[in-house]
Amino acid sequence: MPITAFLERNARLRPDEIALVEVNPAQQPDVNLSWREYTLIQSTSPRKYRKEITWREFDTRANRFANLLLSRGIRRGDKVALLMMNCLDWLPLYFGILKAGAVAVPMNFRFSAEEIVYCADLADVRVLIFGPEFVERITEAKPSMHVGTYFFCGDEGCPDYAEDCLLLKRYCSSSAPPVELLEEDDAAIYFSSGTTGFPKAILHRHDALTASAEVEQQHHGQTEKDVFLCIPPLYHTGAKMHWFGSLIAGSRAVILRGVKPEWILQTVSEERATIVWLLVPWAQDILDCLESGRLRLQDYRLEQWRLMHIGAQPVPPSLIHRWLQCFPHHAYDTNYGLSESIGPGAVHLGMENIRKVGAIGVPGYGWEVCIADEQNRPVGTDEVGELCLRGRGVMKCYYKNPKATAEVLSADGWLRTGDMARRDSDGFIYLVDRKKDVIIVGGENIYPVQIEDFLRTNGKVADAAVIGLPDDRLGEIACAVIQCKQGTTATAEEMDAFCLSLPRYKRPRKIIFDTVPRNATGKIQKNALREKYGALRIVEAETTK
């Protein structure tokens, strides 16, 4: 059944229960208050930074927007783009698009005007909904786009070329639109992260969205009593597909606008969150604040928090060991997936397998996994090959790109992920690196993730990225870009000495101290580092370290 059926069921069975909460701590009178201090004043200080809607209101808003789209001539299969920051309106608008039979096209809020034009054209977007943060970019992009209708979603500042969708929705029917959705219908286009250039458009059917919801609920056992804290951007498959588990359970979700460690802990405390999905940098920041004493666990109510899980990028085992020292009662899971496989869950560690921290896990619920060589033959235990996936969540295609589709998707449904992996004797899969990120030094393959994990165990290192730099003698050498923790400094000589415990061929031949750039979903932007440092030539003295 389509994913919209779960929303309609919740609106019918629990109409007055809270479905979504939006928390924006930046609008709080005093964001430095601890929970204990806050409880003393909340009776006299209204929480203007908090909004909520029930399941009935959620479904009603989605219906109204669907009917608004239908009144503007949108029909089954038309593409409707959504460019907004996380907010209370995001999911109702998304579900309104689906209920109209249209294809939802979430856009990355970091897209430049040029990228907005490119993606709107690639996806054949007919309608674009945007928030107040994007007026300048949309105004710049509009003359080059073939979009017919623009909707503005915000309290004020609607440009003259757009219609105010919040105002118009009030005059549209709240009844379910007369559109029958089928599992094989096209549902959504997501864009690849674009770390190697302009993104590709990934087309998914309704059945893939439903499959992702079932996978998430099976993995993490959400019930109606759980509260999911959603922090990552909703345009990305990760955040939304994890929330789909709450949708199936009919449980509350909290959308937090901000990633400061104190905001995360405060919101977990105030909203009684039980499940939190973090990206590596946010978990790192929380631990640094706790270990430095800047934040204290006793200032928050956290006993109900049962699960912390991480995905979207390789997770350093050292980070999880540190986390469990601070939060020994937490269940932990890591989830592997990609937008082409409708986000997380194709492989997952499993909350019961904490002993295998470092692995991405085993095949997820309903998924098949194969690790194959260049000839598509399965490799043996502990041998490195390309990770391949098959299941209901695999994309239909790269929209309007049959050549790229054929390169990764076989006729029998296997998706080549581009990730290099190995499987141990217990059947657990370990991510080795991205195929394109493998560095070949004098004929020897080096997998940067292994070196990055090692560097992050140094007490002065906040983050690390390893890229290949050209070398006349060896072809490439490994270069480590190191971001030091706030308030600390290090030298290249210190890092060289620290790396002596690595095998000689894995030691970085060049150390650069710089910020490690990550995108909105936490992935290291290695293309940016290659562009910045790729022209460097390493002298012989450095290549022989």
Residue 540 pLDDT exceeds 50 = no
Based on the fold, state whether residues 272 and 287 are members of the same structural domain.
yes
The H or E element that residue 423 is part of is: strand 415-423
Query: What confidence category does residue 281 fall into, taking pLDDT thresholds of 50, 70 and 90?
Result: confident
Q: Please tell me the least confidently modeled range out of 137-141, 223-227, 290-294.
A: 290-294
Based on the fold, state whether residues 328 and 376 are members of the same structural domain.
no
Residue 315 pLDDT exceeds 90 = no
pLDDT for the residue numbered 528? 84
Query: What are residue 256's DSSP bridge partners?
Result: 23
Does residue 293 form part of some domain? yes
Count of residues making up the chain:
545
The CATH number assigned to the domain holding 450 equals: 3.30.300.30
For the record, the structure tokens of 260 come out as 């400061």
Does residue 352 form part of some domain? no
pLDDT for the residue numbered 471? 75
Based on the fold, state whether residues 421 and 329 are members of the same structural domain.
no
Residue 531 pLDDT exceeds 50 = yes
Cα angle 66, 70, 76 (rounded to 5 degrees) comes to: 90
CA distance 278 to 261: 11
Residue 108 pLDDT exceeds 50 = yes
Residues near 493 by Cβ (< 8 Å), separated by ≥ 6?
A: none
Residue 47 pLDDT exceeds 70 = no
Residue with more model confidence, 149 or 43: 149
Based on the fold, state whether residues 142 and 243 are members of the same structural domain.
yes
pLDDT digits over 379-417, tens only?
Answer: 999 999 999 999 999 999 999 999 999 999 999 999 999
The CATH number assigned to the domain holding 394 equals: 2.30.38.10
pLDDT for the residue numbered 44? 45
pLDDT for the residue numbered 442? 58
Domain C-terminal end among 411, 434, 457: 434
Q: 62 and 95 in contact (C-beta within 8 Å)?
A: yes
Total structural domains within the chain: 3
pLDDT for the residue numbered 37? 54
Alpha helices (H) along 293-387: 317-326
The H or E element that residue 87 is part of is: none
For the record, the structure tokens of 317 come out as 């085992």
The predicted model gives 170-190 an average pLDDT of 93
Domain C-terminal end among 434, 450, 475: 434
Residue 76 pLDDT exceeds 50 = yes
HEC profile for 500-537? HHCCHHHCCCEEEECCCCECCCCCECHHHHHHHHCCCC
Residue 46 pLDDT exceeds 50 = no
* Structural domain range at position 230: 4-346
Based on the fold, state whether residues 73 and 200 are members of the same structural domain.
yes
Residues near 519 by Cβ (< 8 Å), separated by ≥ 6?
A: 110, 193, 195, 525
pLDDT for the residue numbered 422? 94
Q: Which of 121-125, 351-355, 433-437 has the highest mean pLDDT?
A: 121-125
* CB-CB neighbours of 37 under 10 Å: 12
Residue 539 pLDDT exceeds 50 = no
pLDDT digits over 336-378, tens only?
Answer: 888 899 988 899 999 999 889 889 999 999 999 999 998 889 9
Based on the fold, state whether residues 304 and 425 are members of the same structural domain.
no
* CB-CB neighbours of 223 under 10 Å: 11
CA distance 236 to 259: 16
Residue with more model confidence, 329 or 27: 329
Q: 24 and 85 in contact (C-beta within 8 Å)?
A: no
Q: Give the three-class secondary structure for 353.
A: coil
Q: Give the three-class secondary structure for 422.
A: strand
Angle (deg, nearest 10), helices 237-249 and 206-220: 70
Does residue 396 form part of some domain? yes
Based on the fold, state whether residues 192 and 315 are members of the same structural domain.
yes
For the record, the structure tokens of 498 come out as 């620290």
Residue with more model confidence, 314 or 236: 236
Residue with more model confidence, 292 or 45: 292
Alpha helices (H) along 111-198: 113-122, 135-141, 165-169
227 phi and psi, to 5 degrees?
A: -130, 115
Does residue 353 form part of some domain? no
pLDDT for the residue numbered 476? 78
Does residue 354 form part of some domain? no
Domain C-terminal end among 369, 401, 434: 434
CA distance 82 to 93: 8
CA atoms within 13 A on the CB side of 312: 27
Identify residue 540 by its one-letter amino acid code.
E
Query: What confidence category does residue 472 fall into, taking pLDDT thresholds of 50, 70 and 90?
Result: low
Residue 521 pLDDT exceeds 70 = no
Mean pLDDT of the chain: 88
DSSP letter string over 457-490?
A: TSTTEEEEEEEEEEETTTEEEEEEEEEEPTT---
Based on the fold, state whether residues 276 and 407 are members of the same structural domain.
no
pLDDT for the residue numbered 474? 66
Residue 36 pLDDT exceeds 60 = no
Based on the fold, state whether residues 214 and 292 are members of the same structural domain.
yes
Q: Count Cβ atoms within 10 A of the Cβ of residue 384 and give its class: 0-12 exposed, 13-18 middle, 19 or more buried.
A: middle
Q: 264 and 255 in contact (C-beta within 8 Å)?
A: no
Does residue 182 form part of some domain? yes
Residue 523 pLDDT exceeds 80 = no
